[in-house]
Amino acid sequence: MRRLKFVGATLAAAVLGLAAGSAACAGPTLDGVRSRGVVTCAVNPGLAGFAMPDHEGNYQGLDADTCRAIAAAVLGDAGKVKFVPANAQQRFTLLQTGEADVLARNTTWTLLRDTENGFNFAPVTYYDGQGFMVAKKLGVKSARELDGATICVQPGTTTELNLADYFRTNHLSFKPLVIEKLDEVENAFFSGRCDAYTTDRSGLAATRASKAPNPDDYVILPEIISKEPLAPAVRQGDDEWLDIVSWTVFAMIGAEEKGITSANVDAMTRSDDPEVQRILGSSPGLGKALHLDDKWAYDIIKQVGNYGEVFERNLGARSRLNLPRGLNALWTKGGLMYAMPFR
C-alpha cells in the first residue's frame, strides 16, 4: 500500500513536471513560428464577433482576424494560422506551456495575469465592460434591482470576480450558478434557471444575437460594472515576439488613422505621406527593426484590413451584433484606439 502511494505521488509529480517542462523546449517564438510555417493561436471556441467557426468551419471574428494579421506580418500569408479552441481554463496553460504562440481569446488585461501568470499583453483590441442581460418580462430596468437574483456566470474569469465585487459594493445579495461551458451556461439562462446572465457586454450581445430563441425578449441592462480591456497575450520573456504582436495591432489601428484600407492599400504605397510610406514599407527600415519583411504591415492591411474594417465586419454595423464603435473608435473620433508613431 505504501509503495503504491509513493508510485502514485511520483506519477503525479511526473505529469506535473512534464506539463511544465515542455515549455523548456520551445525556442524564441519567432523562430518557432517560422520553422513551423504557421502561427498557433488560442481562440474562443465559439463567441460570435470574436472567434466562432462559420458554416465552413473557418473561424470568424475580431480575435481570429488579429491572429490572421499576425500571420500576415510574420509569414506573409494571413491563412497560415492554426486556431486552437480554448475554454476559459485551458487558455492560460496553453500559452504558458508553449502550445500556443499567442492568446487572442477575449482575455482581460489584469495586473496578476501580466505578472504572476507570466504573460505580456499587446495593445487592447477591444475595450469592453461587463454587463447583465435579463428576460424582458422580468421587468428589471437596472442591475441594482437584482437583489436576490440567481445569476449565471462562467468560472475562472474576471467576470466572476466583478460580479461578486459589484454586489458587495452595493450591499446586494445574489445566487451564482457557475458553469464552465459557454453553451451550458447560455442554456441554463435561456431555460430560466437564472434570472440574469453576466459577461462582457459584447459577449451578451453575441449570445443574444446567436443563441436567444427570440433576441427581442432579452434586454442588456445599462450598468457597466467593470473595465474589460481585451488584449492579445504572449508569454513573458520573449520581447521580440511581444513587439511583433503589439505592432501588428498598432499597424491595423495606424492604417485606419491614415485611411489605408484593404481596398486602397496598393494605391497608398505611392502616397506622399512619409508615415504611410514607412508603414507600408515604401521607405524601408521598420520591418527590419521588428525582424520582419518590410512588407509586413502592407500584408496585414491587404489581407486582413485595418482596424475599422475588421471591427465593422465582425462586431459593427456589417455584423449580426451591430455594436456601436463606442470606446473602440479612433482617438480622433472620441474613442481610445491610438497607434504609437511609426518611426
Is 10 a binding residue for another protein by CB under 8 A? The answer is yes
Task: Please give the grid coordinates belonging to residue 96.
Answer: 504558458
For another protein, which stretch binds (CB under 8 A), given 141-149, 218-226, 240-248, 300-308? 141-149
Task: Please give the grid coordinates belonging to residue 238.
Answer: 520573449
Contact positions with another protein (CB under 8 A) in 19-78: 19-21, 23-24
Angstrom distance (rounded) from CA 63 to CA 50: 5
| Smaller CB separation from another protein, 54 or 165 | 165
Beta carbon of residue 89, minimum distance to another protein (angstroms, whole number): 5
Pairing mode, if any, of strands 233-235 and 119-121?
Answer: antiparallel
| Smaller CB separation from another protein, 166 or 311 | 166
Task: Find, among 283, 135, 146, 319, the residue nearest to 219 by Cα.
Answer: 135
Query: Facing residues of 84 across strands?
Result: 42
Is 317 a binding residue for another protein by CB under 8 A? The answer is no
Q: Which residues contact 252 (CB under 8 A, 6 or more apart)?
A: 69, 300, 301, 304, 305, 306, 307, 310
Angstrom distance (rounded) from CA 166 to CA 200: 14
Angstrom distance (rounded) from CA 166 to CA 143: 10
Is 112 a binding residue for another protein by CB under 8 A? The answer is yes
Angstrom distance (rounded) from CA 21 to CA 42: 20
Q: Which helix (H) or strand (E) holds 233?
A: strand 233-235
Is 136 a binding residue for another protein by CB under 8 A? The answer is no
Is 220 a binding residue for another protein by CB under 8 A? The answer is no
Contact positions with another protein (CB under 8 A) in 156-175: 156-157, 160-161, 163-165, 167-168, 174-175
Query: Facing residues of 47 across strands?
Result: 51
| Smaller CB separation from another protein, 43 or 300 | 43
Contact positions with another protein (CB under 8 A) in 191-210: 191-193, 195
Is 183 a binding residue for another protein by CB under 8 A? The answer is no
Beta carbon of residue 295, minimum distance to another protein (angstroms, whole number): 33
Angstrom distance (rounded) from CA 202 to CA 67: 19
**Upper half-sphere CA count for residue 232 (Cβ side, 13 Å):** 33
Is 335 a binding residue for another protein by CB under 8 A? The answer is no
Is 85 a binding residue for another protein by CB under 8 A? The answer is no
| Smaller CB separation from another protein, 193 or 333 | 193
Is 89 a binding residue for another protein by CB under 8 A? The answer is yes
| Smaller CB separation from another protein, 8 or 79 | 8
End-to-end CA separation in angstroms for the chain: 68
List the one residue from 180, 183, 239, 273 that touches another protein (CB under 8 A).
180
Pairing mode, if any, of strands 59-60 and 52-53?
Answer: antiparallel
Is 13 a binding residue for another protein by CB under 8 A? The answer is yes
Query: Can you state the angle between helices 62-75 and 296-303, rounded to 10 degrees?
Result: 140
Binding string, 227-246, against another protein, x = CB under 8 A? --------xxx---------
For another protein, which stretch binds (CB under 8 A), given 6-14, 271-279, 293-301, 305-313? 6-14
Classify burial at 61, counting beta carbons within 10 Å of its beta carbon; exposed 0-12, middle 13-18, buried 19 or more.
buried
Is 96 a binding residue for another protein by CB under 8 A? The answer is yes
Give me the residues that bind another protein (CB under 8 A), please.
5-10, 12-14, 16-21, 23-24, 88-89, 92-93, 96, 112-113, 115-118, 138, 145-150, 155-157, 160-161, 163-165, 167-168, 174-181, 184-185, 188, 191-193, 195, 235-237
